[in-house]
């Protein structure tokens, strides 16, 4: 007998789901259960109840599936538990000693529908639904800019690094939980940034960096206890202070969210010249580049910004089409509509705005709808190995354009930022 699964959306805000399964959960059907739960998590429904009252068989593969979906929902800040079970399901989970972990109390033989006998209980107060607002093709979820205090950033290095000129200040910089940085850099213990530094993202006490060589494998260091990561930057941007303005976002009618369009909306809402940006989102497709040679090898005629395609190809690996679909990205950087002074040295055209953004890419990790605190989310990503670290590009011009980063849904934190040049 095959497995059928019916999804019923519940909760006053449509943020909960009940999956009613019928049939058997074995090696052939366990993946169907995991896929059904994963779909609900991707839709932002992180409180999931499994009605297995009409499931007559559970194999070891099924047990693993129940454990996997429980762990996935818990990682998203939610839960996925068996709310009703048949006697065979209850027996297998009890004998395997997993019933307390995977089942709600009293789940066995609980009626699928209708009132439950016993004394009446006062219903739990319903959570207030999140305020949503559609702006063009993007839906903002729980937008709040009231805590977006202005931050101060500093440009590290100088644009001349691309031609091998000038001096580089490689003073190690600590990355505590409230520090953020992007650029060409390395972990401090990995040596000088000009010889070992590649694309780097630092956020909330975690650092993700790609070594500057073809097919380089990204590495990371996550702060914990008294361990505070330290980095060296050959060039980039660094600031301290967590952006506290925040909003969730998703595409209207399931459509894509163009990153440049989202940041343009936030710039308009904040009324700021420039914004510090932190985004965690499910990816539809990213477009970007990665440094594949050390900065120390640059000369006046041979460097990434020499203006010749054949030279740039020796320095940078470009995504030839949008990549990393279905994965989770951590994006850090700055966005502006009209950069002046030091900020103008680090931003470049990014679709309809100007920006400098780096992304660390991870396996898919569900993100709870309406999340407001970034620190725990970044720490959770830090527990996974990064798949890529890249400098994002956006050129939506038809035919000849490289494309633009597009997201499915996620959360964004932002704050006005004032950027000054490097200290002399």
Average pLDDT rounded to a whole number, residues 44-53: 90
The model's confidence at residue 241, banded by pLDDT at 50, 70 and 90, is very high
Residue 117, pLDDT above cutoff 80: no
- The full DSSP string for 357-423 is EEEEEES-----TT---HHHHHHHHHTS--SEEEEE--B--TTTS-B--EEEEEEEEEEEEEEE---
Q: What is the pLDDT of residue 15?
A: 79
Q: Torsion angle, CA of 260/265/268/272, rounded to 10 degrees? A: -60
Of 52-56, 185-189, 285-289, the range with the highest mean pLDDT is 285-289
Q: To which residue do tokens 């597009």 refer?
A: 406
Judge whether 21 and 1 are in contact, CB under 8 Å: no
* Count of CA atoms in the C-beta half-sphere (13 A) of 417: 33
pLDDT at 160 over 60: no
Give yes or no for a contact between 30 and 62, defined as CB atoms under 8 angstroms apart: yes
What is the rounded (10 degree) CA torsion for 349, 355, 360, 365? -100
Which part of the chain has CATH 3.30.750.24? 4-102
Q: What pLDDT score was predicted for residue 398?
A: 55
Among 262, 264, 266, CA closest to 251: 262
**Percent of the chain predicted with pLDDT > 70:** 89
* Of 179 and 109, the one with more pLDDT: 179
Burial class (CB in 10 A: 0-12, 13-18, 19+), 299: exposed
Indicate if the pLDDT at residue 156 is higher than 80: yes
Distance between CA 287 and CA 402 in Å, rounded?
A: 7
Residue 123 pLDDT exceeds 70 = no
The predicted structure's pLDDT at residue 252 = 92
pLDDT at 162 over 60: no
Residue 98: DSSP 8-state: -
Radius of gyration for the alpha carbons in the chain, expressed in angstroms and rounded = 24
Per-residue pLDDT at 176 exceeds 60: yes
Q: If you count DSSP H runs as helices and E runs as strands, how many of each does the chain have, helices first?
A: 9, 23
Check pLDDT > 90 for residue 339: no
Residues 6+ apart with CB under 8 A from 123: none
- What DSSP element (H or E) covers 92? helix 87-95
What are the strands, taking DSSP E only, across 137-296?
A: 138-144, 151-156, 173-174, 179-187, 198-203, 206-209, 219-222, 230-240, 245-251, 257-258, 274-285, 288-291
In Å, what is the CA distance from 233 to each residue of 4, 173, 195, 331? 54, 8, 11, 18
Choice between 299 and 106, residue whose per-residue pLDDT is larger: 299
Res 368 pLDDT > 90: no
Given the structure tokens 């010249």, which residue do they identify?
273
Quote the CA–CA distance of 223 and 229 in Å, as a whole number: 6
User: pLDDT category, 344, cuts 50, 70, 90?
Assistant: confident
At residue 109 the predicted structure's pLDDT band, cuts being 50, 70 and 90, is low
User: How is residue 50 written in tokens?
Assistant: 């499994």
List all residues 6 or more positions away from 302 whose beta carbon is below 8 Å from its beta carbon: 311, 314
Q: Does domain 4-102 have CATH number 3.20.20.60?
A: no
Identify the pLDDT of residue 223: 87
pLDDT band at 90 (very low <50, low <70, confident <90, very high): confident
CA dist., res. 9 & res. 65, Å (int): 21
| The pLDDT value given to residue 157 | 77
- What is the C-alpha to C-alpha distance for residues 330 and 343, in angstroms, rounded to an integer? 22
Q: Between 334 and 100, name the one with better pLDDT.
A: 334
Length of the chain: 424
Q: Which residues contact 37 (CB under 8 A, 6 or more apart)?
A: 19, 48, 69, 72, 73, 80
Selected residue with higher pLDDT from 307 and 227: 227
Highest mean pLDDT among 39-53, 55-69, 243-257, 336-350: 243-257
Q: What pLDDT does 362 receive?
A: 95
Taking phi over 0 as left and psi of -120 to 50 as alpha, with beta for the rest, 348 belongs to: beta
Grade residue 128 by pLDDT with cuts at 50, 70 and 90. low
Between strands 348-350 and 257-258, the pairing is: unpaired
Which range (57-61, 178-182, 215-219) has the least confidence?
57-61
Query: Higher model confidence: residue 161 or residue 7?
Result: 7
User: Tokens 């497995």, residue?
Assistant: 3
In the predicted structure, residue 118 carries a pLDDT above the cut 50: no
Is 62 in contact with 26 (CB distance < 8 Å)?
A: yes
Q: Look at residue 421 in the predicted model and tell me its pLDDT.
A: 82
The pLDDT of residue 42 is above 90 = no
Mean pLDDT of the chain, nearest integer = 86
The model's pTM? 0.76
Give the other-Cβ count within 10 Å of 117's Cβ.
6
Distance of CA 13 to the CA centre of its chain: 23
Query: What pLDDT does residue 120 have?
Result: 43
Total Cβ atoms within 10 A of residue 153: 22
Contact 413, 337 (CB under 8 A): no
Kindly state the average pLDDT of the residues 359-371. Answer: 86
Determine the 3-state secondary structure of 160 from DSSP. Answer: helix
């Amino acid at each position: 007998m095959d497995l059928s699964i019916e999804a019923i959306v519940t909760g006053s805000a449509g943020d909960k789901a009940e999956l009613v399964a019928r049939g058997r959960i074995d090696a052939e059907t366990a993946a169907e259960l995991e896929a059904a739960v994963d779909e609900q998590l991707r839709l932002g429904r992180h409180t999931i109840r499994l009605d297995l009252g009409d499931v007559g068989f559970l194999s070891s593969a099924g047990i693993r599936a129940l454990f996997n979906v429980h762990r996935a929902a818990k990682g998203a800040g939610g839960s996925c538990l068996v709310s009703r079970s048949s006697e065979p399901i209850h027996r297998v989970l009890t004998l395997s000693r997993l019933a307390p972990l995977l089942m709600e109390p009293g789940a066995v033989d609980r009626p699928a529908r209708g009132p439950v006998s016993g004394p009446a209980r006062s219903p739990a107060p319903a959570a207030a639904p999140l305020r949503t607002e559609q702006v063009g093709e993007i839906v903002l979820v729980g937008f709040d800019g009231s805590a977006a205090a202005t931050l101060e950033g500093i440009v590290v290095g100088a644009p001349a690094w691309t031609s091998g000129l000038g001096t580089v200040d490689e003073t190690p910089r600590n990355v505590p939980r409230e520090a953020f940085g992007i650029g060409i850099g390395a972990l401090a213990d990995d040596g000088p940034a000009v010889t070992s530094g590649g694309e780097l993202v630092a956020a909330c006490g975690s650092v993700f960096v790609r070594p500057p060589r073809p097919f380089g494998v990204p590495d990371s260091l996550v702060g914990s206890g008294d361990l505070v990561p330290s980095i060296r930057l050959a060039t980039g941007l660094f600031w301290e202070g967590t952006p506290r303005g925040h909003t969730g976002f998703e595409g209207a009618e399931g459509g894509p969210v163009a990153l440049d369009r989202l940041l343009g909306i936030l710039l308009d809402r904040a009324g700021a010249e420039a914004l510090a940006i932190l985004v965690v989102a499910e990816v539809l497709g990213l477009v970007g580049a990665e440094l594949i040679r050390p900065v120390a090898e640059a000369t006046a005629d041979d460097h990434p910004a020499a203006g010749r395609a054949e030279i740039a190809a020796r320095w940078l690996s470009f995504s030839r089409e949008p990549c990393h679909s279905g994965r989770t990205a951590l994006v850090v950087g700055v966005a502006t509509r009209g950069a002046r002074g030091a900020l103008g040295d680090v931003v470049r055209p990014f679709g309809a705005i100007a920006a400098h953004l780096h992304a660390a890419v991870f396996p898919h990790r569900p993100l709870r709808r309406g999340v407001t605190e970034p620190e725990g989310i970044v720490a959770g990503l830090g527990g996974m190995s990064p798949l890529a670290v890249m400098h994002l590009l956006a050129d939506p011009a038809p035919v000849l354009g490289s494309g633009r980063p597009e997201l499915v849904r996620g959360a964004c934190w932002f704050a006005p930022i004032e950027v000054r040049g490097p200290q002399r």
